[in-house]
């Protein structure tokens, strides 16, 4: 919803004041909680927060009188009334509820929570409006990721974020990029080098990066009862790769609600898994945090773990295969596919009960919801890659593993480990084996899986499963001398075929360019080309698997990987589209002339 204001100049001034006040609020919290001791006396910082509270309140009052439609203003800002009401009650009743000794702390906490909610509301609304400003929404997506990464790096550099010694800027930037891009490559040990505060920051970056800040903004708008206007819906349609404009609101609600539900079920399911290795998790609070961390990391396909060996210690645990594998697969299918499958399941249940309890319904049944072509392709390619990846790893570890295989050799080769690595190599980056000890053939299989990645519209990277299917079917159409690319008795538009080929070529160019650059920067480390290619493919596919060279990379090498991770998360085609958004298509054609290929 876009509110119209009478005085445009006054509105610009208020926007500037808002930006400065928001930055000051963030600064007060950093000075209070980011260091061992507050940088300024606590009383001064609390007074500053109270002043900022009055600034936010005054800004709302001025905007209320400047708004053309008071009804539209209250419709967008209705949440302010209950927030201020609750805050007023806490301020008045704090002495009675918490006692005189703790009343002041309770009041400061209430003001702090209000300011945090205000910042969240402002940031979410700003991202949605920027995406719907009429400019390229993909550019807004890129900017949001860059800002998120820089903010995360700054927070990870705070003394309270480190477990022992402070984290350098390059390592903080590397970790922040890896978390926001849901990659999982780590220059520092997440469980040992970062404190609880640092781990919470990493987890927040994973969740925000997995779904995207713009999507969170749209979710927040819907939660506040604000309908998205046409521009905002079109922007969300572009960012979600959704085809039907009318169901964008339902799709966004499904993305957010489905994510929370799946992550919660995953956390509850794997709660008892950690006790299988004694001494890893000490108390109940640590157990719950470990569970929630790995559940979110698995569904968002991030691959971050709190243990130095990732999940190697749990390679015989039931939870790895029964909980983490399904979470990885669901996160990698894409929200559009999950939405379609959820709609089909709901429709089947409704039809069953209507047939059971409403006999007349049998004579007036509507057509059941069908599975979209996108869903069919994703499910088929995903299942095929899991099966062939598992068989490939088993085969190569049996015949080419030698005595140093990380999975085992010959008859001792674990099908479970091969299955897990086949699943996680395409999206997540968890590992239950020593990746560096695998045979070169198995690593090559993993590189191929990382290059392909997951499915569109989700948290996974790579060229995507649908892209692979379109490219293969285009080649088959050429061999069969068919004019159109056909999949499941449906034709694929030429525009989609061109896009699939472009994405594949761009990924190949980025992969080899980055690998070549790393071979130059890491010359002193004497890494093999297989190690460099593996690291680059893992970064570009936002996977997070490593042969163990990540922590030894030079600063220049880490910066290269940072850029590759960002490109892999956004997609080279997205970056190219943002640069060529204003280019107009040519309205002429040149005469044809045959050339020889092949």
Q: Give the number of C-alpha atoms closer than 13 A to the C-alpha of residue 1, restricted to the C-beta side.
A: 18
> Which residue has tokens 């998120």?
148
Distance CA 293, CA 198 (A): 12
Mean pLDDT confidence for 569-590: 67
Rg (CA), the chain: 26
- pLDDT range class, residue 212, cuts 50, 70, 90: low
Alpha carbon separation from 389 to 136, 325, 542 (Å, rounded):
38, 14, 18
Q: Give Dmax over CA atoms of the chain in angstroms.
A: 88
Q: Retrieve residue 249's tokens.
A: 């609101």
Give backbone dihedrals phi and psi of 21, rounded to 5 degrees, phi first. -65, -40
With beta carbons less than 8 A apart as the criterion, state whether 430 and 298 touch: yes
Closest CA to 188 of 159, 168, 209: 168
Q: Tell me the pLDDT tens digit for each residue of 269-287.
A: 988 888 777 777 767 888 8
Cα torsion 438, 440, 445, 449 to 10°: value is: 80
Q: Are 162 and 198 in contact (CB under 8 A)?
A: yes
| Residues forming a β-bridge with 477 | none
Distance CA 407, CA 316 (A): 12
Q: What is the pLDDT of residue 406?
A: 46
Residue 432 has pLDDT above 90, yes or no: no
- Kindly tell me if the per-residue pLDDT of 41 is higher than 80: yes
- Would you list the domain boundaries of the chain? 1-131, 333-363, 373-577
What is the overall mean pLDDT for the chain?
Answer: 82
- Please say if the pLDDT value at position 177 is more than 80: yes
Of 4-8, 43-47, 549-553, where does mean pLDDT reach its minimum?
4-8
Burial of 362 (0-12, 13-18, 19+ CB in 10 A): exposed
Residue 431 pLDDT > 70: yes
What is the model's pLDDT at position 136? 61
Residue 342: name the closest of 266, 245, 251 by CA: 251
107-163, pLDDT tens digit by residue?
A: 888 888 888 888 877 777 777 666 555 566 667 777 778 888 999 999 999 988 888
531-535: long-range contacts, CB 8 A cutoff, minimum separation 24: 533/447, 534/435, 534/443, 534/446, 534/447, 535/185, 535/561
The tens digit of pLDDT for each residue in 230-247 reads 444 555 555 555 554 445
Q: What angle do CA 325, 331, 333 make, to 5 degrees?
A: 100
DSSP assignment of 279-337 equals: TS--SHHHHHHHHHHHHHHHHTT----SSTTTTGGGTT-HHIIIIIHHHHHHHHH-HHH
User: What pLDDT score does 335 carry?
Assistant: 80
Percent of the chain with pLDDT over 90: 23
Token digits for 391?
């068989």
Report DSSP state, residue 490.
E
Question: pLDDT category, 570, cuts 50, 70, 90?
Answer: confident
Higher confidence at residue 444 or residue 101?
A: 444
462 backbone φψ class: left, alpha, beta (φ>0; ψ -120 to 50): left
**pLDDT score, position 572:** 67
For 142, the token pair is 């890129």
Q: Tell me which residue has tokens 């506040």.
A: 224
Q: Which residues of 31-63 are buried (b: 16+ CB within 10 A; e: fewer)?
A: bbebeeebeeeeeebbebbeebbeebeebeebb
* 334-387 tens-digit pLDDT: 888 888 888 888 888 887 777 777 666 655 566 777 888 889 999 999 999 999
pLDDT digits over 304-314, tens only?
988 888 888 88
Going by C-alpha positions, the residue among 396, 458, 34, 380 that lies closest to residue 212 is: 458
Decide which of 507 and 367 is more confident.
Answer: 507
Neighbours of 264 (CB within 10 A): 13
Residue for token digits 């995507």? Answer: 464
Residues 6+ apart with CB under 8 A from 65: none
Q: What is the pLDDT of residues 1-33, one digit of tens each?
A: 567 777 888 888 888 888 898 889 889 989 988
């Amino acid at each position: 919803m876009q509110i119209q204001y009478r005085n445009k100049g006054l509105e610009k001034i208020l926007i500037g004041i808002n930006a400065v006040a928001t930055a000051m609020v963030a600064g007060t919290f950093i000075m209070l909680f980011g260091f061992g001791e507050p940088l300024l006396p606590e009383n001064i910082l609390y007074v500053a927060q109270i002043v900022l509270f009055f600034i936010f309140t005054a800004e709302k009052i001025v905007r209320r009188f400047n708004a053309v439609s008071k009804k539209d203003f209250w419709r967008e800002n209705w949440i302010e009334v209950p927030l201020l009401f609750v805050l007023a009650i806490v301020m008045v009743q704090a002495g009675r509820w918490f006692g005189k000794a703790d009343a002041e702390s309770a009041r400061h906490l209430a003001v702090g929570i209000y300011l945090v909610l205000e910042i969240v509301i402002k940031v979410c609304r700003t991202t949605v409006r920027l995406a719907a400003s009429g400019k390229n929404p993909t550019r807004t997506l890129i900017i949001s990721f860059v800002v998120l990464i820089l903010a995360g790096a700054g927070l990870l550099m705070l003394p309270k974020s480190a477990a022992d010694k402070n984290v350098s800027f390059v390592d903080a930037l590397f970790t922040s990029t890896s978390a926001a891009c849901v990659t999982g490559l780590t220059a520092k040990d997440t469980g040992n080098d970062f404190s609880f505060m640092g781990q919470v920051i990493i987890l927040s970056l994973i969740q925000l990066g997995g779904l995207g800040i713009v999507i969170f903004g749209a979710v927040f708008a819907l939660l506040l009862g604000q309908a998205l206007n046409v521009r905002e819906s079109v922007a969300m349609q572009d960012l979600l790769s959704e085809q039907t404009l009318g169901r964008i609101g339902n799709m966004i609600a499904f993305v957010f609600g489905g994510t929370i539900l799946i992550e919660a079920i995953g956390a509850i399911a794997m709660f008892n898994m950690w006790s299988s290795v004694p001494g890893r998790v000490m108390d109940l609070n640590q157990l719950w945090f470990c569970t929630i961390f790995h559940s979110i990391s698995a569904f968002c396909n991030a691959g971050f773990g709190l243990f130095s060996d990732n999940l190697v210690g749990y390679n015989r645990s039931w939870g790895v295969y029964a909980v983490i594998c399904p979470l990885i697969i669901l996160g990698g299918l894409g929200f559009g596919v999950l939405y379609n499958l959820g709609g089909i399941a709901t429709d089947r249940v409704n039809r069953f009960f209507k047939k059971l309890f409403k006999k007349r319904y049998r004579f007036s049944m509507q057509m059941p919801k069908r599975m979209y072509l996108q869903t069919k392709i994703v499910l088929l390619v995903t299942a095929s890659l899991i099966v062939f990846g598992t068989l490939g790893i088993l085969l190569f570890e049996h015949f080419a593993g030698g005595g140093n295989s990380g999975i085992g050799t010959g008859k001792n080769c674990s099908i479970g480990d091969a299955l897990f690595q086949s699943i996680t190599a395409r999206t997540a980056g968890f590992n239950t084996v020593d990746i560096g000890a695998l045979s070169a053939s198995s690593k090559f299989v993993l590189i191929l899986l990382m290059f392909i990645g997951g499915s569109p519209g989700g948290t996974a990277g790579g060229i995507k499963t649908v892209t692979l299917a379109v490219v293969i079917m285009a080649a088959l159409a050429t061999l069969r001398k068919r004019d159109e690319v056909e999949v499941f008795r449906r034709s694929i538009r030429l525009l989609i075929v061109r896009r699939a080929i472009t994405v594949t070529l761009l990924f190949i160019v980025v992969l080899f360019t980055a690998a070549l650059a790393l071979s130059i920067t890491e010359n002193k480390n004497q890494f093999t080309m297989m190690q460099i290619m593996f690291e680059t493919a893992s970064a570009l596919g936002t996977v997070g698997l490593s042969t163990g060279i990540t922590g030894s990379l030079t600063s220049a090498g880490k910066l290269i990987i940072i850029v590759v991770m960002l490109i892999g998360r956004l997609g080279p085609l997205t970056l190219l589209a943002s640069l060529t958004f204003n280019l107009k298509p040519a309205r002429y054609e040149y005469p044809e002339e045959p050339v020889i290929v092949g």
